[in-house]
Structure 1
Amino acid sequence: MSRDKTAALAGIRVIDLTRVRAGPSCCRILADHGADVIKVEAPAGVDPNESISGPRDGYDMQNLHRSKRSLTLNLKEPAAREVMRKLVATADVVVENYRPDVKYRLGVDYESLAAINPRVILASISGFGQDGPYAKRPGFDQIAQGLGGLMAVTGLPGQGPVRAGTAVADLSAGLYAATGILMALVERQTSGKGQWLHTSLLEAQIAMMDFQAARYLMDGEVPQQAGNDHPVSTPTGVMPTKNGHLNLGVSGDGQWRALCEEMGRPELGTDERFATGAARTANRALVREVLEPLFMEDTTESWLDRLEAASVPAGPIYAMDKVFADPQVRHVGMAETITHPRRGDIDLVAMPVHLTRTPAHISSPAPDAGEHTDAILAELGFSAEEIARLHETKAV
């Protein structure tokens, strides 16, 4: 595979020891921005959970592991651990998401890595933190959603806890880890030294609760389920229309008055029951009782046009096929096409941040397991005879 030498992270080598979602999504960010991400995985038959991310050519593996190279290593073998040491000596970053104690058994803890390469940065992603009473528990996204408060505020009032429809804890942990890696790389320019950074699904999930968490910490207010309504602002949320639904996002008093004008009820804009945000929140049920019949008088499409003209925030509610058919989504390029050797042209989810000089780019589909093993070993200085021996002994 050819790498873009002008990409933002060109020249940065990352060893990806991760699997499932949080760690791979972190490394995906680095890979799409040009880092040489080497996905280290066990040879076939060594890892009993090797199929945990689904089929190799399936959507999840392709979306998570694109733009990477693959090296197979059986880290239980001394010869494979020697390969790892040589790889670490060339690396800028190592990313792992083992349970906290496992890294020490495998020799990929920070002290061991820094002894080989003092400039290396280790990023660790765990379920609940590197120590403490839950440190050795296996971490899963939905467990973190529950423990971190998200499930308690998601769903309709009184229906019981509901998980979010995407892996919020996993993906945000990956984002925070990638952010930490970039900060550590910048700091290394001054100190010349690497460092260990770590985050967890639990910490990331709590951070993603943001204002909901701050409501409790500052004011002692425990957020409850608010369904499709915004918990502290109204009218926001889902409104029924003549032929479906739309999302309404009115927050300021000026937006409220503009909405009332467009709906033909200007007097509601100054009605003391609704004139301020505090009054509307106190009369949330009455606001909805007044608005719902009015929205039912016209179609979603018509309302969206009318509200846009009135500068009232509103939008459609799409299933995924509609998302990628939307003209703005097409314009910003959130689907990127790559050619796969067996599946042909496939579309993957593009990077959502745009660098004007050094943009992200999906450089290749997810590699086959061990696809780049021999090439990487040769880069590390192994001879053809040594590479053959490593294969014979099942070290790679």
Structure 2
Amino acid sequence: MKGPLEGIRVTDLSHVLAGPACTMILADLGAEVIKLEPPDGDDARQFGPFKNDQSGYFISINRNKKSVCVNLKTEEGKRILRDLIKISDVVVENFRPGTMKKLGFSYEEMKKINPGIIYCSICGFGHDTLPEYSSKPAYDMVVQGYSGLMSITGPEGGPPVRVGTSIGDLVAGHHAAIGILSALIHREKTGEGQHVDISMLDGLVYFLENAIVRYTMTGEIPGPLGTAHPTITPFQAFKTKDHYIITPIGNDKLWALFCEAIGRVDLIEHPKFKTNPLRNENKKELIPILEEIMLTKTTQEWMEIFDKYNLPYSPINTVDKVVNDPVVNYRKMVVEIDQPLVGKVKITGTPFHMSKTPGEVRTPAPLLGEHTDEVLKNLLNYTEEEIKTLREKSVIN
């Protein structure tokens, strides 16, 4: 099947995670993504785990792309980038603000080369921001802390905890892809390109939904609650005889079924627990009662009981269980690729399931510079002699 973005060409100047996450989405959806890497490659190629000197980190985020290795600090390298901009629809970069301008490739300069170009920048605090933040370095951990996310993550009363994945980078990548797709639709209507300015901080603040409105409406400063929900009770993980089980009881109908399932129908109409606002108000009294009950059976036993009552629940799966889970595999969210120099390796699949133009993992992550000659010769019409000269001058690898 052809992807919905077939015919869209992306010049990808990004590195490590936020930008590559964005361009992987576009590539999964059928765009041609040409990843420009410096002579030493994307920094992510140096991050483990490794097999045969190949980075699993890089492999996990760069499938479906082409790699062109070019030194953009040379005039000849800049010419290659200019030539690519002329034939591209989108450019993505995630350098510090000001870096691309120093190279001579700000948005203002790029749109002179290609007026319809969609230029997406991803950085920690945004390009249109306060002057003191314009060149501030930012990693995922920085924005997890700055955004307030870490202040509400972790056990109640405990120290702040980093979310277990690089969510600041990944959210920014997803928001960048949404922004690019929206800009492509706008260009289709008007012929205008534009600058898409994505901030990692914006993305995590956007995801604070309930925490921000709780503070603005009540003055309460949210803190970490472990697995518990701040305004719905019971909506958390409970320790069982052998592990844990999550019980998100999101309304009063589910509360009645839950009480039947655990053999405590007397709690259904209890004056302190009858409605969610009451349960939430009296959670310090309710939760210990439920904790004691949940300890009486194993997780599997509770799962079988909750299934009978059609209650929402989940064990807390470890990654090995997720990789081998039947529904995860049925949805093709773990796929096997044949990675050069590595062999068979399993990576995450694509979440874009569409009846006509689904996302797809078509090719493995590229070796460094694997497609340099192909792109220069077939797309940019460089001659064999020109390519040979560029390689001799160390402009390309």
- Taking structure 2 as the reference length, the TM-score comes to 0.95
- The answer to whether 1:15 aligns with 2:15 is no
Alignment check: 8 A CA contact 2:96 2:136 kept:
yes
Once residues 50 and 308 of structure 1 are traced to their aligned partners in structure 2, the CA distance between those partners, rounded to angstroms, is 43
* Partner in structure 2 of residue 38 of structure 1: 34
In structure 1, the partner of 2:63 is: 66
Task: Tell me the residue number matched to 1:312.
Answer: 311
| 2:23 aligned to which of 15, 23, 27 | 27
Distance 2:310 2:381 in 1: 63
Aligned length: 390
CA offset at residue 337 of structure 1?
A: 1.6
Letter in 1 for 2:382: F
What is residue 266 of structure 1 aligned with on the other side? 265
Q: Which amino acid aligns with 1:145?
A: Q
What is the alpha-carbon distance in structure 1 between the residues aligned to residue 133 and residue 45 of structure 2?
Answer: 26
* Cα distance per residue 1:10-29 (max 9 Å; x no partner): 11110111111101100000
- CA deviation map 1:34-83 (0-9, x unaligned): 111001011138x8x57554456222111111110011111110011111
Match of 1:376 in 2: 375
Deviations 1:214-265 (A, max 9, x none): 3223443321111111111111111111221101101211111111111111
Tell me which moved more, 365-374 or 329-338: 329-338
Q: Which residue of 1 aligns with 2:343?
A: 344
Report the AA paired with residue 224 of structure 2: Q
Asked whether the 8 Å contact 2:243–2:298 carries over to 1, the reply is yes
Instruction: Give identity over the alignment, percent.
Output: 38
Aligned letter for 2:370? E
Aligned counterparts of 1:138 and 1:357: Cα–Cα separation in 2 = 41
Alignment of 1:192-231 (within 5 A): 192-231=191-230
Q: Give the equivalent residue in structure 2 for 1:78.
A: 75
Cα separation, 2, equivalents of 1:317 and 1:93: 40
Q: SS in structure 2 opposite 1:259? A: helix
Matches for 1:1-396 after TM superposition, within 5 Å = 6-44=2-40, 51-54=45-48, 57-130=54-127, 131-132=129-130, 133-378=132-377, 379-396=379-396
Residues 52 and 220 from structure 1, CA distance in 2 versus in 1: closer, same or farther, beyond 3 angstroms? farther
Other structure's SS at 2:337 match: strand
**Structure-2 separation of matches of 1:53 and 1:214:** 38
TM-score (norm 1): 0.95
Counterpart amino acid of residue 14 in structure 1: V
Once residues 309 and 57 of structure 1 are traced to their aligned partners in structure 2, the CA distance between those partners, rounded to angstroms, is: 48
Q: Distance in 2 between matches of 1:52 and 1:172?
A: 23
Q: 1:109 to 1:33 in 2, by over 3 A?
A: same
Pairwise CA distance, 1:311 = 2.4
Q: Alignment RMSD, CA only? A: 1.5
CA distance in 2, matches of 1:143, 1:237: 28
Distance 1:336 1:191, change over 3 A: same
Q: What residue identity is the alignment partner of 2:66? A: R
Query: Does the Cα contact within 8 Å between 2:37 and 2:68 map onto a contact in 1?
Result: yes
The CA deviation at 1:135 is 1.8
Closer, same or farther in 2 for the Cα pair 1:70/1:180, shift >3 Å? same
What SS class does the counterpart of residue 205 from structure 2 fall into? helix
2-side partners of 1:50 and 1:177: how far apart?
19
Supply the AA of the counterpart residue of 2:394. K
TM-superposed deviation, 1:342 = 2.0
- Bigger Cα displacement from structure 2, 106-115 vs 213-222: 213-222
Deviation at 1:285, TM superposition (A): 1.6
2:197 counterpart SS class: strand
Q: Distance in 2 between matches of 1:369 and 1:103?
A: 22
Q: Which sections of structure 2, spanning at least 5 residues, go unmatched?
A: none
SS in 1 for 2:221: coil
Output the CA distance in 2 between the equivalents of 1:53 and 1:16: 20
Unmatched 5+ stretches in structure 1: none
CA deviations 1:325-367 (Å, max 9, x no partner) are: 2222122111112112222222110111201111111121111
The 3-state SS of whatever aligns with 1:359 is coil
Where 2:246 maps in the other structure, the secondary structure is strand
SS in 1 for 2:76: helix
Report Cα offsets for 1:128-163 as digits up to 9, x if no partner: 111312221111001100110110001112212111
